[in-house]
Amino acid sequence: MSVDAETETEGPPLGAWELPEELVMLRETVKGFMDREVHPLESTLPHDAAGLPREQLLPLQEKARQLGLWALQTPAEYGGAGLSVLGQVVVAEEAAKCRMGAFFPALGAFGGNPPNVMFKASAEQFEKFAQPILDGQMSKAYTAISEASGGSDPARAITLKAVRDGGEYVLNGSKMWTSHAENADWGVVYARTGEGRAGISCFIVEKGTPGLTFNRIGVMASFSPFELHFDDVRLPASNLIGAEGGGFKLASDFLIYSRIIYAAGPIGIAQEALDTACRWAKDREVFGGKLADKQGIAWMLVDAEVQLRAARLLMYQAAWNADLGKDVKVDASIAKMYGTEVAYNVMDKCIQVHGALGLSDELPLERWFRDLRVKRLGEGATEVQRVVVARELFK
């Protein structure tokens, strides 16, 4: 789906949010894929499994490709589906409704998307690095921005140095909290080549480059990020994306939209948890009646439903405005902040309704709870989003 920014000026009127028919059909396609392919496969895996073995992932991805569920975020001019931002959040919400959904939506079936910054790369860079991902010949690439000195303010916190040496750049320093790094074929790394925001550059780093090492970082979630160490890592100057010093602008161009899409996963997971809690409450016998008949429980679930509806509408509105070409910096921050906070709070309620069972690995609730705690920090912590909104309020 695409929206013509020249002919459309406003989104649907307040209270009249209804997805376009083609996105309803897409949502049903994703839901059917999850029911037929993802849930049965995931049920065979350990509770805290993080990703599929390659021999299981590739057949699953091929089934997704046959349904057109591939390279959904990649613009059509690069050979992708060119799905709108609104379409992307619809898919992301539904694909997250599995045990691994926080970090492996649909178990990684819907691949084919290179890092967004590659759409600003040269034709040669795109052909060598991004095209194999689109074609399914390479796994997804990682993006390394955050460092130990601070992840929420990368413009000032980036200390990884890249020094020009003839036809090469030499990188020294480290990156933190980088997802999917160890098994990726290559990654996009942001390093400092000068002072301030104008001193950040973006590089492609291939797997196996001498001087690059990875260390797994144990966290409370079931999925572990990595620390990357650069010890005199030499890159050809041709691995620089865009102009030297243009890295911050490249990252900023895509970070805003990604916050909207990021909110969709936690909302989808929380909705699945709420549906599970409602079924449990209708069946569970306590004190001579159903748990659902207890007003304290019923109202707890009602509050969760109201919060999720509000979070979804904020996300839809931000996505719609993004598709209209509007400035959605504040919209994106609100959607990300509210969506992840609500999802975490709803999950807490759902665990409470299930009692001790909610804490066990008989259900995915406790895993989701840990994963959603991480989501409140990713793509800019809640407090960072509040800073963005506050700046707009006090202009």
DSSP-derived secondary structure for 323-345 = HTT---HHHHHHHHHHHHHHHHH
- Rounded to 10 degrees, what is the CA torsion of 221, 224, 225, 230? 150
Span between the terminal Cα atoms of the chain, in Å? 35
Cα–Cα distances (Å) from 14 to 17, 229, 310, 316, 332, in that order, read 7, 49, 12, 12, 18
- Rounded to 10 degrees, what is the CA torsion of 246, 248, 250, 252? -150
In 3-state terms, what secondary structure has residue 212? Answer: strand
- The stretches of 284-328 forming alpha helices (DSSP H) are 295-323
Residues in contact with 313: Cβ distance below 8 Å, sequence separation at least 6, in sequence order: 17
Cβ neighbours of 77 (radius 10 Å): 8
Nearest to 239 by CA among 212, 265, 203, 206: 203
Residue 150 contacts residue 157 (beta carbons within 8 Å):
yes
DSSP-derived secondary structure for 369-381 = HHHHHHHTTTTS-
User: What is the C-alpha to C-alpha distance for residues 380 and 341, in angstroms, rounded to an integer?
Assistant: 13
Residues in contact with 121: Cβ distance below 8 Å, sequence separation at least 6, in sequence order: 129, 130, 204, 241, 242
Question: Which residue in 42, 147, 341, 379 is the catalytic one?
Answer: 379
**Residue 147 designated active-site:** no
In the chain, the amino acid numbered 33 is: F
User: What is the C-alpha to C-alpha distance for residues 138 and 126, in angstroms, rounded to an integer?
Assistant: 13
- The set of catalytic residues is 379
